[in-house]
Structure 1
Amino acid sequence: MNLKLKYLIFYLFAFSFTRVMAQVPVKSLDYYLKQAEFTSPVLKDFQNQQRSAGIDSLIVRATGGAQVTASSAGMYAPTFRDYGYDKVLTNGQALEALLNVNYDLLNRKRINNQLEGVKIQSDSIKYARQLSLYDLQRSVADQYILAYASQEQVGFNREVVTLLEQEETLLKKLTRSNIYKQSEYLTFLVTLQQQQLVLKQAELQFKNDYATLNYLAGISDTTQVKLADPKLQTEISTTAQGFFNKRFDLDSLKNINQKNAVGFNYKPKLGVYANGGYNSSFALQPYKNLGASIGFTFSVPIYDGHQKRMQYNKLSLSSETIAGYRNFFIRQQQQQLNLIRQQLSQTDALFPKINEQIRFSKGLIEVDSKLMRTGDLKVADFVIAINNYLAAQNLLRQTSINRLKLINQFNYWNR
């Protein structure tokens, strides 16, 4: 096979490989976040609960209007040889069929308070749904970062193996030329084989991390993809610490609503009613017993053993509990944010030192590679230089991943 044919085969192979790699779709963190939100049954559950709260509001409004009912009752008390119920009391038989209309005249404020309670419930469901979404996004983002780190690890290990394979080919020739001893070549070969195993392990780790990412996002597609750089940045929220505090605001509003409900239970109640229909004992001219009636009901509580005061005391204790949890959470949230800021600052300070170490390690490998071609370097020294470079690169990737995780945590708590 001549030299031109070899170059032709090489370029065809390279072109085919590049084309296959170009066909691998690239998916971003935003894609997985949207998929997770779309497929989550928990978020759909909260959405249905909000719709149900809207129906509850309509039900409360309906109870505030006039209530119309139809009722019917019949009775027959037979007697045998003067034995039976006293007809003065029972009239012997009776039949009624009535249409009743009832309306509470003093119910408007109570209905408005119930509507306010439904609104608070709806807002609580909305808050719970948003909190669940934030938790889901944080979990998916963390897993995406892990999968992306595994993907980068695979790429780096593949580059290292390629480099070592090239050096192994050269070293084999130098060994055959007696420039290097057979023991030195075997030492280098062991290093190459170790890195090949590391590459296989990295590929398995990436498959596992990627499968877990799809699981969290509710994706069943196992097509090979390339994960884009997350590129997370710290988000400066204009309503910092506002979202998490909202749950305490909702608890306080719920407490006030319950207190108002207790007060309305001790207000006077006034209602009117009307009915019409047929009501007869069949004792006298039953065909004339069609009629109607109107009336009112009025009640006012006087004494129930001071239950109202007891319920108010319970609600006051509940308010103190809410205030205690609020103050504790605010302190904890601030401490959490300060700790993450400190860790981010310390992490950012590591990058210049790590990059400098990588630059020196890479430069040493290039120098050692040239020296090895002339036989002026021990193979063990070259292996040490490679291991130092691997350690520096791994430290850089781990630090970068830790930084992304810290940013993800910061953005979660800084809401």
Structure 2
Amino acid sequence: MNNKLKYLILCIVTFSAVQTKAQVTAKNLDYYLKQAELTSPVLKDLNNQHRAAGIDSLIVRATGGVQVTASSAGMYAPVIRGYGYDEVLTNGQALEALLNVNYDLLNRKRISNQLEGIKIQSDSIQYAGQLSLFDLQRSVANQYILAYSSQEQVSFNRDVVALLSQEEVLLKKLTRSNIYKQAEYLTFLVTLQQQQLALQQAELQFKNDYATLNYLAGIADTGRVKLADPKMQANNLAITQHFFNKRFDIDSLKNNNQKNTIALNYKPKLGVYANGGYNSSFILQPYKNLGTSVGFTFSVPIYDGHQKKMQYHKLSLEAQTIAGYRDFFTRQQQQQLSLIRQQLEQTDALFPKINEQIRFSKGLIEVDRKLMHTGDLKVADFVIAINNYLAAQNLLRQTQINRLKLINQFNYWNR
């Protein structure tokens, strides 16, 4: 019975350990980017608008064909003791029930222009959707970098606390052996407590950064997670500048489409119609008032106070505005990309120096540990070596974060 109980306890402990380990899931940047794209209501809205634009094009094509309508109207104007509407004008009563067929003969160019306008609108919505996606990806990537940095800070602080805790045990023994003074031990103990507080603050900061990351990505996750290294690289250090210029191209196409619309409004319009049904005043042989009719409509504008010229001038001003914004944005984008590229080069140049400083600081700590074990080193000197190592590691981590953020910005603008 005792053996069975021991076996059961061993199984429970093993299962609990496996379950605890399984709860810590590894997730990378791509996971959060995909989740943010799937859950974004803005992207869903713009996608629905893009689909609705396709329906609009079908509607325009339908309006360009034959239009059939049914209409009916009835009227009765009584005359009581000689009082009432003049029957010469009203005929006293009337009934109309017609089936009408209309078709515009000169509408092909107008329909083509409307379809072109819908396509431009669809391209504009598609551009807005892509821009929203890029903005969302940039925000999520920035927050992922912050959360990953906080996670690495927690890991580093744990290692430091573990190192200092080991040294504290030894130093306590050396202090009891009168190799070190009590004041030196207390100085070291204060340093250990400071690092323990720093670890707690780092853990709290990671929780906040991770919660913000989940919020941006639309994820409800309270489990333990380990964020993978983002490993971001600049897509292309050469400046391309393609995507953001599309909005100016779309605005130009929209301006040209409006010009075509104005021109078509001043073209002649010709339409034909036919109807058939019942139309009677009931005065004479109403049973014979079944019939049909055909006809046409024609109109051509002659003079409207030079409105066409004024509308063209207005669109010309808009075209100048578009060109001005395009030139300004192109210059600003080029300057921004050049600045980011320069900052990346300067940041990369810092890593060898920082790594060398870390190597020296770590080597000094190892030497100081050996000397402290024999009582040949002041505790204050060891604390200084620890602080120098911490400062170098923090500088390295901050430089890595800045580099990742610069890459994220460069990849966003250089599309």
- TM-score of the superposition, structure 2-length normalised? 0.94
CA deviations over 1:142-193 (Å, ceiling 9, x no partner): 0000000000000000000000000001100100110000000000000000
Residue 122 of structure 1: aligned partner: 122
- Matched residue type, 1:343: Q
**What SS does the aligned partner of 2:405 have?**
helix
Offset of residue 84 of structure 1: 2.5
The answer for the alignment partner of 1:354 in structure 2 is 354
**Separation of aligned partners in 1, 2:83 and 2:155:** 104
Residue 272 in structure 1 maps to residue 261 in structure 2: no
C-alpha deviations, 1:295-335, integer Å up to 9, x for none?
00000000001000111001000000000000000001100
Report the CA distance between 1:271 and its aligned residue: 0.3
Write out aligned runs for 1:193-208 (5 A). Answer: 193-208=193-208
Mapping of residues 102-181 of structure 1, within 5 Å? 102-181=102-181
Change (3 A) 1:237 1:307: farther
Q: Secondary structure at the match of 1:277?
A: strand
1: CA distance, partners of 2:308 / 2:139? 46
Give the SS at the match of 1:72. Answer: strand
1:358-369 superposed matches below 5 A:
358-369=358-369
**Cα distance in 1, alignment partners of residues 31 and 71 from structure 2:** 60
Corresponding residue of 1:370: 370
CA deviation profile, 1:318-371 (whole Å, cap 9, x unmatched): 000000000000001100100000000000010000000000000000000000
After superposition, residues 11-410 of structure 1 pair within 5 angstroms as: 20-21=20-21, 24-236=24-236, 240-410=240-410
Q: Name the CA distance, whole Å, in 2 between partners of 1:131 and 1:80.
A: 73
Quick one: distance in 2 between partners of 1:239 and 1:255?
28
**What's the RMSD between the two structures over aligned residues?**
1.8
Check the 8 A contact 2:94/2:282 in 1, yes or no.
yes
Tell me the percent identity. Answer: 83
1:110-155 per-position Cα deviation (integer Å, ceiling 9, x unaligned): 0000000001101100000000000000000000000000000000
AA at the equivalent of 2:93: Q
- Per the TM alignment, residue 406 of structure 1 is displaced from its structure 2 partner at its CA by 0.3
Matched residues in 1 for 2:133 and 2:147: separation? 21
When residues 399 and 22 of structure 1 are mapped into structure 2, their CA distance, relative to the original with a 3 A threshold, is farther
Q: CA 1:18–1:201 in 2, change beyond 3 Å: closer, same or farther?
A: farther
SS in 2 for 1:243: coil
CA deviation after TM superposition for structure 1 residue 80, in Å: 2.6
Q: Structure 1 residue 19: deviation in Å?
A: 8.5
**CA separation in 1, counterparts of 2:181 and 2:92?**
125
Residue ranges of structure 2 left out of the alignment (5+ in a row): 1-12
Q: Separation in 2 of the partners of 1:247 and 1:34?
A: 25
Which residue identity does 1:104 align to in structure 2? D
Q: Name the SS for the 2:291 alignment partner.
A: strand
Does the C-alpha gap of structure 1 residues 18 and 388 become closer, same or farther in structure 2, counting only changes over 3 Å? farther
Quickly say closer, same or farther: Cα 1:332–1:31, change in 2 above 3 A: same
Distance 1:98 1:18 in 2: 81
Secondary structure of the residue aligned to 1:242 is coil
Letter in 2 for 1:381: D
Distance 2:64 2:270 in 1: 13
Partner of 1:5: none
Name the amino acid aligned to 2:230: P
Aligned partners of 2:162 and 2:17: how far apart in 1?
15
Distance 1:98 1:19, change over 3 A: closer
In structure 1, how many angstroms separate the alpha carbons of the residues matched to 2:167 and 2:76? 111
Deviates more, 1:356-365 or 1:230-239: 230-239
Q: Is the 8 A contact 2:175 2:185 kept in 1?
A: yes
The structural deviation recorded for 1:51 is 1.0
The offset of 1:282, in angstroms, is 1.1
Deviations 1:49-80 (A, max 9, x none): 01111111111111101111111111222223
Q: Is the 8 A contact 2:100 2:275 kept in 1?
A: yes
SS at match of 2:244: helix
Quote the Cα distance in structure 2 between the aligned partners of 1:344 and 1:158. Answer: 30
How far off its partner does 1:91 sit? 1.7
The letter of the residue matching 1:401 is I
Contact kept? 2:23, 2:224, Cα under 8 Å = no
- After superposition, the Cα gap between the structure-2 partners of 1:281 and 1:238, relative to the gap in structure 1 and judged at 3 Å, is farther
Question: How big is the shift at 1:83?
Answer: 2.9
* Cα distance change of structure 1 residues 237 and 42 upon mapping to structure 2, 3 Å threshold: farther
Amino acid at match of 2:32: Y
Q: Partners of 1:270 and 1:243 in 2: how far apart?
A: 43
